[in-house]
Structure 1
Amino acid sequence: MDVEGKNLRRGWTTGTCAAAASKAACQALLGSEFPALVEVTLPGGQRPAFALAMEERDEGLARAGVVKDAGDDPDVTHGALIISTVRKGRPGSGITFRAGEGVGTVTRAGLPLSVGESAINPVPRKMIAAAIAEVAGPMADLEVEISVAGGELLAEKTLNPRLGILGGISILGTTGIVIPFSCAAWIHSIWRGIDVARAAGLSHIAGSTGNTSEKAVAAYHGLPEIALIDMGDFVGGMLKYLRSHPVERVTIAGGVAKMTKLAQGMLDVHSKRGMADLAALAELARDAGATEALAARIAAANTVAGAFEEAEAEGLQIGERVARLAWRTAAKALGRSEIALEILVFDREGRLKGRAPFTPSDHSDASSS
C-alpha cells in the first residue's frame, strides 16, 4: 500500500488472528496435530496463512496463539498474542464464546453486543465459526474462549473503558485486514460512542477535537464521561452519523485552529487535509472592526493561535465570529432540524474564546456573521 510515497504494509485484525488460532486449536482438540500454518477465509474471500506462536493440549481442551501483526499501522494491539482455547460444548449448543483474560465484557447498552457478552464482535464471531466449520463441520458444539496476553493494560489505551467494555480489549474487524492509518476504526469508535450515549438515555453529547477541548467542554457543561465523544478531526463523520442517530443537543468543541478550519468549510480538520486560510481569517477580522495593520498581521501570522493573539492584543475578539461560521458548516452537515447545535472554541489553555449557542440546525439566523 502506497501512502504519500511510502510503501506501507497492511496487517491483520484481532478477529482474523482469533479465527486462525481457533481453527488450529479445534483441529488439535479433534485429534490432529497442530498445523504448521493455518489458513482462514476473510469476509472478502482472501485466504491468509498464519504461523502459531503457541500450542498446548490438555485434558478436554486445546489452545493455540497467533501474534497480531498490524503491518505499519500504529495499532496498540500490534504484537499482542491472541489466544484461543477450544473445548467441547453441550450437545446442541453450537459455537459459544467466552472472554478469557485480556478480553473485555460489555457492561453498557448500545453496542453491537448485549450487556454481559464477551467483547468479540459479530464479524469476528462469524469468521471464527466459519474457520472452525472447515475442520469440525457446520454443526459442531464447541466453546471458544478468546484471551489476549496483557489485554487489560492495552485496553487502557483504547476507548473501551469509556464505552463500558471492561476487563480488556475487543476482538474486532469487519474486513479482517488492518489498513495503515485508516480513519475507519476511529470513525467507528465515534459511532459506538454515540450509540452508547443514546442507549443510556443522554440528551446531550459533546464531540471534541482533542484532550484540552474535551476537558474544557466537560467542565463547561458538567458532562459525564459517557457524553464525551472523542471525534478527533472527524467532525463530519460524527455529524453525519447523528443524522440517523439523533440526540436533542450536540456540542462541537475544539481549539482555535481546528474550529477556524470548520468555519472555513472543512469537515475533516486534520492538518494533512489543508491548513486554515489566514487571509480569510484576516478578512473576518476586518469585518469585526480590525484595522488594516492588524488584518495584515493576522494574515502573516505563523499559526491561527498567533492570529488570535494578535487580535486580542488590540482588544478584538474574533472567536465569536469563528464560532458562528463553524456552526453554519456543522449545521449543514447535520441537517436535522430537531437537533440543537452548539459550537465552543477554546484556546490551548482551555479558555473559551467563542460560542455559537444551541440553535436548531436548520435555523439560518444563527449562522449570520
Structure 2
Amino acid sequence: MGETSDTHATALRRGWTTGACATAATRAAYEALLTGAFPDPVEIVLPRGERPAFALALEELGEDVARAGIVKDAGDDPDVTHGALIVSRVTRLAPGAGVVFRAGEGVGEVTRAGLPVPPGEPAINPVPRRMMAETVAETARRHGGTGDVEVEISVPGGEALAQRTLNPRLGILGGISILGTTGIVRPFSCSAWIHGIREGIDVARAAGLAHVAGATGSTSEAAVRALYGLPDHALIDMGDFVGGMLKHLRAHPVERVTIAGGFGKLAKLGQGMLDLHSGRSQVDFDWLAARAAERGGSDGLKARIRGANTAAEALALAGAEGVDLAAAVAEAARATALATLRGAPVGIEVLVFDRKGELIARAG
C-alpha cells in the first residue's frame, strides 16, 4: 500500500500518517457514494504535493452512505498504529451543511483545552480535517456532488492502541488521534514524540497549572509524581527530548518546571546535550572526572572515573570517596536548561533519582 521515495534497498522505508489514510478512505467512500464505484487504488494529494495511492481493505456501499478502509502502513517507523484499519464512513447531508466530522469506534474525543481542536470535538487534528475537506470538495466537483457530508472516522481496536500513546494523559478519551502535518511518516524522525511534548505543555497551560514535570523514564516519572502529588496532565512525557521540551517552554512558559531523571541521562544534559538518547549522545567520563575533582575528588578518583564502564559505576566510585557527584550533575544539568530557556520566565529544578526511584540530588 502506498509508495515510497527511498531509492536504496538499505534505506528506511517511509510510511503514511493516520491523517493521510483517513483522507484516502474518505475520498474512496465519497466517490463510491457519487458514482457507485470505489476507486482502488485511491490517490490523494498531500500538503506538499506528493500523490500517493492506497489500496482499499474495506468497501461498503449503501443508498446514502459508504464506508472505505485502509490499512495504515507506517513504513519502518515503530508506530503503534502500524497495521491499524482506518475507516471513513461518509453520509450525505442536506445542502449547506458542509463537512461535519465525527469520531467513530477507536477515535478519541478531546476533553481538555489546549489541544489543536477544542473540547467536545473528535480528535482529528486541523491538517487532516483540511485534507479531508479538500478531497471532499474536489470529489464533489469531479462527480457532481454538493460536498455536504458527515465524515465519521473509526479505527477498530483504537481504544486499546491509545493506551500506548499520550492520549489518556492529554485528555483525549476513547481512542487514538488522527494526526499528521505532511501525510508522511519519516522513520525515527522523533517528530511525533516532540509533538506530544508540545501538546502536553499546551494542555497544562490551558488548565492553569503552575508546575509541570518532565521525566526521562518511568522510574523518575513515578518518583516525581509521588514527591509532589502531581496530576497526570502535569507530567510531560519528555523521554530523551529535553531540548524539545525546553524550547517549547521558552515560547510557552510555565511558572515552575521540574526535570527528573537518572544520573546518566542528566549527566549528558549537564554536558550540554539536549537529546539524551544513547544512540545520539554519550556520557563523557572525562567531564565526570572533572566534576568530581571540583567536589574535592582525588587524582586517583579522577583516574578511576575516566576508566569507568558506566555512569552508575562512576557515581559509585565517587560515593565511595565521599564525593557528591550527583549534586554536581544536577547543578550542571540545571545550568544547561537555564541556558536553553534564554531568560524565559520559567523556574527550573533538576532532580536526580537512582534506579530504585530514590532522590539522590536536587538543584534549583
TM-score of the superposed pair, with normalisation by structure 2: 0.95
Say if 2:60 and 2:66, in contact at 8 Å, map to a contact too.
yes
Aligned match of 1:309: 316
Which consecutive segments of 4 or more residues in structure 1 shift more than 4 A?
A: none
Q: What is the deviation of 1:337?
A: 4.7
* Equivalent position amino acid for 1:276 in 2: V
Matches within 5 A, 1:129-168: 129-137=133-141, 140-168=147-175
Which whole-Å CA distance do the structure 1 matches of 2:54 and 2:10 have between them?
25
Q: Distance in 1 between matches of 2:291 and 2:54?
A: 57
Larger strand share, 1 or 2: 1
Query: Is the 2:124–2:178 contact (alpha carbons within 8 Å) kept by the matching residues of 1?
Result: yes
The aligned residue for residue 268 of structure 1 is 275
Supply the AA of the counterpart residue of 1:129: A
Residue 362 (structure 1) aligns with: none
Q: SS at the partner of 1:272?
A: coil
Q: Does 1:225 align with 2:225?
A: no
Distance in structure 2 (CA, Å) of the matches to 1:263 and 1:6: 36
Residue in structure 2 matched with residue 367 of structure 1 by the alignment: none
1:291-302 paired onto structure 2 within 5 Å:
291-302=298-309
Partner of 1:60: 64
Aligned twin of 2:30 = 26
> Which residue of 2 is the match for residue 361 of structure 1?
none
CA distance in 2, matches of 1:60, 1:93: 15
Residue 240 (str. 1) matches residue 247 (str. 2): yes
Deviation (angstroms), 1:244: 1.3
> Which residue, 123, 133, 149 being the options, matches 1:119?
123
Shift of 1:32: 2.6
Between 103-112 and 311-320, the greater mean CA deviation after superposition: 311-320
Q: Report the counterpart of residue 42 of structure 2 in structure 1.
A: 38
**Identity, % of aligned pairs?**
64
Kindly state the Cα deviation for residue 59 of structure 1 after the two structures are TM-superposed. 3.8
In the other structure, the counterpart of 1:181 is: 188
Cα distance in 1, alignment partners of residues 229 and 10 from structure 2: 44
Aligned-partner residue type, residue 355 of structure 2:
R
State the shift of 1:139 in Å: 5.1
| 2:330 pairs with 1:326 | no
Cα distance change, pair 15–245 in 1 and its aligned pair in 2 (3 A)? same
How far did 1:273 drift? 1.8
- In structure 2, distance between residues paired with 1:353 and 1:304: 14
Distance in 2 (alpha carbons) for counterparts of 1:336 and 1:108: 29
Segment drifting more, 183-192 vs 333-342: 333-342
Q: Report the aligned-residue RMSD.
A: 1.5
Deviation of the 1:145 alpha carbon: 0.3
Distance, in Å, in 1 between the alignment partners of 2:343 and 2:230 is: 23
Matched, 1:11 2:11: no
Amino acid at match of 2:162: A
Q: Is the 8 A contact 2:95 2:146 kept in 1?
A: no
Q: Give 1:348 shift.
A: 1.1
Q: Which moved more, 1:311-320 or 1:321-330?
A: 311-320
From 192, 195, 201, the equivalent of 2:202 is 195
Equivalent position amino acid for 1:302 in 2: N
Say whether residues 1:251 and 2:255 are aligned partners: no
The answer to whether structure 1 residue 106 and structure 2 residue 113 are counterparts is: no
**1:366 matched residue in structure 2:** none
Corresponding residue number in structure 2 for 1:364: none
In 1: Cα distance, 2:302 partner to 2:82 partner? 48
Is 1:355 the counterpart of 2:362? The answer is: yes
1:167 deviation in Å? 0.4
1:296 and 1:219 mapped to 2: Cα distance?
Answer: 38
CA pair 353-6 structure 1, distance change in 2 beyond 3 A: farther
Match of 2:81 among 77, 80, 104: 77
Once the 2 structures are TM-superposed, how far is the Cα of residue 316 of structure 1 from its aligned partner? 2.0
In the alignment, structure 1 segments of 5+ residues that lack a partner are 358-369
Rounded Cα–Cα distance in structure 2 between residues aligned with 1:338 and 1:159: 26
Aligned match of 1:91: 95
Give the whole-Å Cα distance in 2 for the aligned partners of 1:68 and 1:271: 29
| Superposed CA offset, 1:49-79 (max 9, x none) | 1110010012421000000000000000000
Q: Distance in 1 between matches of 2:208 and 2:353?
A: 28
Matched residue SS, 2:279: helix
Instruction: Specify the SS of the correspondent of 1:174.
Output: coil
Question: What code does the residue aligned with 1:65 have?
Answer: G
Cα deviation, 1:21-44, whole Å, max 9, x if unaligned, reads: 000100111133111211000000
Quote the offset at 1:6 in angstroms. Answer: 4.0
Which SS does the other structure have where 2:91 is aligned?
A: strand
Q: Name the CA distance, whole Å, in 2 between partners of 1:205 and 1:72.
A: 33
Comparing 143-152 and 27-36, the one that deviates more: 27-36
Q: Which runs of 5+ in 2 are unaligned?
A: none
SS in 1 for 2:316: helix
